[in-house]
Structure 1
Amino acid sequence: MSRRATSTGTATSTNILPRRKISLRARLRRDWPLLAMVSPAVILLIVFAYVPMAGNVIAWQSYSPYIGIPDSPPVGWSNFQRVFANPQFWDATFNTLTITAFQLVFFFPIPVILALLLNSVLTPWIRTSIQSIVYLPHFFSWVLVVTIFQQTLGGAGLLNRVLRDAGIAPFEVMTNPDTFLMLVTVQGVWKDAGWGMIIFLAALSTIDPTQYEAAAMDGANRWRRIWSITLPAIRPTIILLLILRLGDSLTVGFEQLILQRGAVGQGAAEVLDTYVYYQGVIGGDWSYAAAAGLIKGLVSLVLVLGANKLAHVFGEAGVYQREKR
């Protein structure tokens, strides 16, 4: 009995021994093909994303491109004070948050619904055809997307021509500020819902089919199987994409909005990105625009950290997960 206890204790103590850490040199020797493969992307990211961040120092200067950053006089926090005191900045912030909230409610669930519907199609060629058709607009530029909507819903577009031929008064969508919020959401759904659907279809493909078979044998109908098996399986993907969407929430589509800003007016289409563009690039107030951009980036960072922390509360990994000690 004592011998068995001794052997059991020895096995238990052996199993709980800490795992030997691999040195950095050994990891580099082991993973160098993977590092070489991703190095071009990392270099591009550093050169075009991280190195330009050093230029944000102009937010604390009275910057002029004619004298450069070293000779521009420092002004402290005065540019940030100007940003917070400008009502146009708050109007752009309000428009940005309104469009973001509207798209989170009406746009974000659509790829999930499309993936669930398409996943229930049993015929492979029908599923592939629908997937290709829905995914195709993702490759269109915003110039082409806005042009298509203009030719369809504009004053001289197809819809209004049909209404005129039928004796019905036409209505204007592309230049109406009251319908602009719905318009940009519909454009986003038409262009990018297929891309999100592909991601959720990939997550659905990892579900074991025997779980559906077992649930069906237990009497669960289709909606019960979706609620109890499908949605819990793709919940980590939904939460991850939601966190990324919140981090990108203050960037609601620069190209899409600047192309239509002149048609609906500044009051409806001015968001933070277009505001920074017109203040800095067009107006020449580079320091003010840099300060506004930094405020936007800080708020986006807070949203990502807060959403990621909330994901940890619900037991999901999120974008990153702190190592347990």
Structure 2
Amino acid sequence: MEPTQNVTEFILLGLCHNEMLQPVCFVFFVLLYIATVLGNLLIIVTVKNSQYLKSPMYFFLSYLSFVDMCFSSVTAPKLIADFFVERKTISFDGCIAQLFVVHFFGCTEIFLLTVMAYDRYIAICKPLHYTTIMTGCVCGSLVMASWVGGFLHSIAQTFLIIQLPFCGPNKIDHYFCDVHPLLKLACTDTYLVGVMVIVNSGMISLICFVVLVVSYVIILVSLRTRSSEGRRKALSTCTSHVAVVIIFFGPLIFMYLRPSTTFSEDKMVTVFYTIITPLLNPLIYTLRNEEVKNAMRKLWTLVSSKHCISH
């Protein structure tokens, strides 16, 4: 007989169980979240208002910043609020919604990073055809394809979980609703679903990571024929992209390209790609990019001058 669905809410065990450390964790993650939102918002505003950042690379960067801001906002506020709540609950529907949105923005970011690598490949390996290939229509279509790909992935991932029966226990050893902790609570054999999760999440991460590595290897090989100045500028841009790719994809591959088991390290690894990486992205792209830094200075000067005039 198939077990009935009688779980109406889940209890999140959270990230920190030490009551003495919870206020410290609260302050730490509040500061991280504020920095993440402000950092990514600054990039979006800078790209939108700067006449010098109109290339496809910055068009994609502004969308990456938007996705990072949303991705972090799915988990961080709930994590922060739960530090001072003894019973950390989330409704069944809320849990499924969180699962959907986390994977939607996470997978969209994977595809956006892949699109950005393609943009760099065209810019460096086919510079004479760059403007004719990377038109506004093409860039918009690539961003739209990233959103659609993220949506389809997330729908599939959510369907795999939502059709499972949950009859108790209802304690999730995590700080948000994710696939592996939920599979652990299902009242049925989840081996086949676990395999499908690997195919859906793990293989997307791995394939995109391999595509990214291959594209950057091709770019590096092509740079041998460039002038030292051109090589330096291209390397600076590509190094930023490679750093983001490694930081983001490493934890993802560890989490999803494996059997449906949970490890004690999972929570810290997940913190890295859901909270730390969205903060690091704006830092990496601004600190290593003179054009973005100059545009930010000019935007700050413009805002300051308008503020002085108004007073």
TM-score, reference length from structure 2: 0.29
Answer 1 or 2: higher relative contact order, Cα 8 Å, separation at least 6: 2
Larger Rg: 1
